[in-house]
Amino acid sequence: MDLWAWLPAFLTAALLAHGMGGEAALLLAALTYVANIAGSITGGTMADRWGRIPTLLTWSCISTVLSFSIGWLVGAPIAALVLLARLYNFSAIADSSTHSTVLAEGVPPHYIGVAYAVRSVIGFGAGVVSPVVFGWALDAAGGGRTSTSAFAWGIAWSTLGLGALLGPVATWRMRKSSTMSPGD
């Protein structure tokens, strides 16, 4: 996922924007990645308590909003960026276990292997293409990996937002066409 691929470069740019060295960017990024553990557990727990679709909608919408907004904030205080990046990491993974559960519950048993394989191909395929699109957008908007331009970083992160929009849209469509109750 681009979040994990580009976050160290983004945090380097943020540190440079504040007149600091970029050496701490990897440590700061690593601190935000720890939120993935809690995100996965929390997302699964929420799905069991409040339903699959509300959980998917909640976390995919939060992740989408952060995709569209974080890049524009490259000049924000570092502590605020790290907190936002933690929430972004948390929300980006919080729906993953629920997606796996929905797939396991909704696919006939003799198609489970194929369903998970297709999900993996789509996910890893997006993970191959999206970092390139992000980089092209960053360069086209006048940035570079250490650019402190909020415009360039905002445009680049917004490419992730465009891809992330598929999550809530697909979940909303599933909700409308599903025989599941609103809490499922």
Q: What is the pLDDT of residue 166?
A: 87
Residue 47 one-letter amino acid = A
The residue-averaged pLDDT of 5-18 equals 92
Residue 108 lies inside a defined structural domain of this protein: yes
Look up residue 176 and give its two tokens. Answer: 């409308």
* Angle ∠(159,42,174) on CA atoms, nearest 5: 60
Rounded Cα distance between 133 and 56, Å, is 25
Q: What is the pLDDT of residue 90?
A: 95
Q: What is the pLDDT of residue 129?
A: 92
Model confidence pLDDT, tens digit, residues 34-84: 998 999 999 999 999 999 889 999 999 999 999 999 999 999 999 999 999
Q: How confident is the model at residue 120 (pLDDT cuts 50, 70, 90)?
A: confident
Rounded Cα distance between 46 and 148, Å, is 37
Residue 183 lies inside a defined structural domain of this protein: no
Residue 86 lies inside a defined structural domain of this protein: yes
Q: What is the pLDDT of residue 99?
A: 83
Residue 144 lies inside a defined structural domain of this protein: yes
Rounded Cα distance between 99 and 49, Å, is 15
Rounded Cα distance between 144 and 180, Å, is 46
Residue 74 lies inside a defined structural domain of this protein: yes
By residue count, the chain amounts to 184
Average pLDDT, the chain: 88
Residue 182 lies inside a defined structural domain of this protein: no
Model confidence pLDDT, tens digit, residues 97-111: 888 888 888 889 999
Residue 184 lies inside a defined structural domain of this protein: no
Instruction: Report how many domains make up the chain.
Output: 1
Residue 70 one-letter amino acid = I
The DSSP output letter for 108 is -
Q: What is the pLDDT of residue 177?
A: 64
Q: What is the pLDDT of residue 144?
A: 66
Residue 61 lies inside a defined structural domain of this protein: yes
Grouping H, G, I as helix, E, B as strand and the rest as coil, residue 127 is helix
Model confidence pLDDT, tens digit, residues 134-164: 999 999 999 865 678 999 999 999 999 998 9
Residue 172 sits in a domain whose CATH number is 1.20.1250.20
Residue range of the domain that includes 100: 2-177
Model confidence pLDDT, tens digit, residues 70-94: 999 999 999 999 999 999 999 999 9
Q: What is the residue whose two structure tokens read 């970083």?
A: 153
Model confidence pLDDT, tens digit, residues 167-177: 888 888 876 66
pTM of the shown model: 0.87
